[in-house]
Structure 1
Amino acid sequence: MATCGRRVACQVVPGGVGVRSSIPSVSVPTILLLLATGLVAGFINTVAGGGSVVSLPVLVEVVGASVANGTNRVAILMQNIIGAASFHRGGKVPWRFVGALLAPIITGAAAGAWVATLVPAEVMKRIFGLVIILVALSVLVRPSRWMREGEPKLREPWRSLAFFGIGLYGGFVQAGVGFLLLAALVLGGGLGLVRGNAAKVVTVLVYTPVTLFLFARASQVDLGVGLILGVGNMGGALVASRLAIKKGAGWIRWVLVVAAVAAATRMLF
C-alpha cells in the first residue's frame, strides 16, 4: 500500500484501469471536509468557474499532488451530470450550438490531458490567471455584453480554434476553465449568462470522461475520494443551476467577478 496523501493511504483497485481507492482509510473529518469542499466547488463551477481552485488544494492534502488533478475529474463529472440535467429541464441548453463545439473541445481536452506531465502546470496557470483577470474586468466595465444575447461573433475557423485551446487547458489543468468557456460562449457565441452557463456545463460534461480515462490509465485517480467529493459537488451544482434558472443573470455577474478574482489571485500568487 502506497502513501497517497497526508490524510489517507491508497491502493490500486484490482482489475481497475490504474484506479486507486482510499475509502477504507478515509476518516470521518476528512469525509466531512470533502463534502463541504465539493458543495462550495460545485456551486462556483456551475454558475461561474474556478471551483477547482477550492477543491484541488484539499485533494492535494488528502491524496497527494500526483493524484489530485485526476481525482478532481470524478467530482467534475458527477457535478456536471446534475447541472446539465437541471438546465435541460429548465429549457436553457442550446443543444445545436453546443453540438458544433464538441469535436474541437474534446480533441483539445484529450491532448491537454495527454501532455499534462510534459509541460509545467504553473506556466499555463499564470497565463490563464491573467486572462481570467481580463474576464472579470470585462464583466465589471461592460456588463451589458454579458447580460444580453446576440449574434455569434466568433466565426469558423476561429471558433473551433478557440474551443480547441480551451479544451487543451481544461484537459491539462481544469482549474479556471469555466471562466474561459463562459467568456467564449457569452462574448464570442452570443449567449446570455444563463444559457452560457448551461452550455458550459454540458460541454465540460462531454469532455470530462475522456480526460478522466487518460488520468485513470496513468494511475492518477483515487475513485473513493473522488466519489465522496463528487457527492458534495452534485449538491452545489443542483442548488446553483436551480438558482440560475429561477433568478436569471443579474446575480451570476457578481458571483462570476468574485470567483474570477479569487481564482486568478490563486493562480498568479
Structure 2
Amino acid sequence: MSVKYTLLVIAVGTIAGFLNTVAGGGSLFTMPVLIFLGLPSAVANGTNRIAIMIQNIIAITNFKNKGYFDWKLSVTLALPAVLGAIVGSNIAISLPDDIFNKILAVVMIIILGLILWNPKKRLKSRDLELNNRRKIIGAIVFFFVGIYGGLIQAGVGFIIIASLTLITGFSLVRINSMKVLIVAIYMIISLLIFIINGKVNWLYGLSLAIGNGLGAFIGSNLSVKKGDKWIKVILTISILLMSAKLLGIFRL
C-alpha cells in the first residue's frame, strides 16, 4: 500500500473513531471506503474488525477504571453472541462480493434510520427486574445480534444499545460499558475466523486502528453537542452516496 493510501486509511479511521464517539456508525463509513480502495468485501469486513477490536479494548479499560463494569451479565449475554458470531462470520467469508455489497448497502440505509431515530434519546432507562425470563430473552436476542455482528458488524452498536435498554433498563453509561465488552468478546472469535481464512489486510487494519484511536481520543475530549446535527447531516449524505454506489446506482 502506498503512503498516500496509508494516510487515507488513517484519515478515514480518524473520522470513524470520531463518529463512533460523538454520534456512532463509524463502520458504515470505513467499510465502503475499504471496498472502494480495492479490498474484496470479505477482506474489508475482516480488516475493519482489527480497528474495532483495538477500539473496544481501549474502551473496556476506560470503563473499568471508572467502575462501571457489569462483568457477569455482559459475559452471560456475550456467550450466545459468540455462537451467533461464528455463524455470521462463516457466512460472511463465503459470500460473493456483489451479494455482500448489496446486503451492506441495504443495512447501511436501515442503520441510518436507527441513527436518526437515536435510541440513546428515545429509549429511557428504568429499573427492570432481571428475572430468568428476561435473561432467556436476552440470550436469544444476543444470539441474533452475534450473527449480525459476525456477518456485517457495521451499526451493531445501535442495535446493542436498543436491545440492552429494552431488556435491562440500565443507564446508558452502564449499557455502553456492557456493549464494548460484549463486542470485544465475540469479536475475538469473529476476527480469528477472518484471520484463519486469510480475510484480513494487516497494513490497512493497523493503519485504520491508528486512526480510530486518534479519532476516539479527539471525540472524547471535545464538547460537540452543538455539532451533533451537522455530524448527522454529513453521515446521512455519506451513507446514502456510498449505499447508492454499492447498489450500482452510479459509478465513481
TM-score range with shorter-chain normalisation?
0.7 to 0.9
1:145 paired with 2:123, answer yes
State the partner residue of 1:55.
30
Task: Give the gaps of 5 or more residues in structure 1.
Answer: 1-25
Counterpart amino acid of 1:258? K
Could you list the per-position Cα deviations for residues 94-150 of structure 1 after superposition, in whole angstroms to 9, with x for gaps in the alignment? 22321221111111111100111248433476367436625643649xx3634x343
5+ long unaligned stretches in structure 2: 245-252
Question: Structure 1 residues 134 and 104 mapped into 2: Cα distance closer, same or farther (>3 Å)?
Answer: same
Q: What is the CA–CA distance in structure 2 between the aligned matches of 1:221 and 1:207, rounded to whole Å?
A: 17
For 1:89, the equivalent position in structure 2 comes to 65
Asked if 2 retains the 8 angstrom alpha-carbon contact of 1:186 and 1:196, the reply is yes
Counterparts of 1:172-211 in structure 2, within 5 Å, are 172-211=151-190
C-alpha distance in 2, partners of 1:181/1:206?
Answer: 14
Q: Indicate how the Cα distance of structure 1 residues 184 and 266 shifts in structure 2: closer, same or farther if over 3 A, else same.
A: farther
Q: Which amino acid aligns with 1:200?
A: K
**1:177-210 deviation digits (Å, cap 9, x = unpaired):** 1110111122322122222222211211111121
Instruction: Confirm whether residue 236 of structure 1 aligns to residue 215 of structure 2.
Output: yes
TM-score (norm 2): 0.78
1:169 aligns with 2:153: no
Which structure shows the higher helix fraction?
2
Note the aligned Cα RMSD (angstroms): 3.3
Q: TM-score by structure 1 length?
A: 0.73
Which range moves more in the overlay, 227-236 or 56-65? 56-65
For the residues of structure 1 that align with 2:159 and 2:112, how far apart are their CA atoms? 7
Check conservation: 2:24, 2:115, Cα contact below 8 A.
Answer: no
Q: Is the 8 A contact 2:32 2:242 kept in 1?
A: no
Are the equivalent residues in 1 in contact too, given 2:17–2:212 (CA < 8 A)?
A: yes
Structure 2 CA distance for partners of 1:63 and 1:184, relative to 1, 3 Å: same
Tell me which residue corresponds to 2:91: 115
Task: Tell whether the 8 Å contact from 2:114 to 2:158 is kept in structure 1 after alignment.
Answer: no
| Greater percentage in strand | 1
Q: Quote the sequence identity (%).
A: 35
Task: Specify the alignment match of 1:133 in structure 2.
Answer: 113
Question: What's 2:46 paired with?
Answer: 70
How many pairs does the alignment contain?
A: 235
Counterpart CA distance in 2 for 1:92 and 1:238 is 19
Q: Give 1:91 deviation, angstroms.
A: 2.0
Cα contact 1:73–1:208 (8 A) shared by 2: yes
Pair 1:134–1:64, CA change in 2 (3 A): closer
Over residues 148-191 of structure 1, what are the superposed CA-to-partner deviations in whole Å (9 max), with x where a residue is unaligned?
A: 34326781322111111111001001111111011112232212
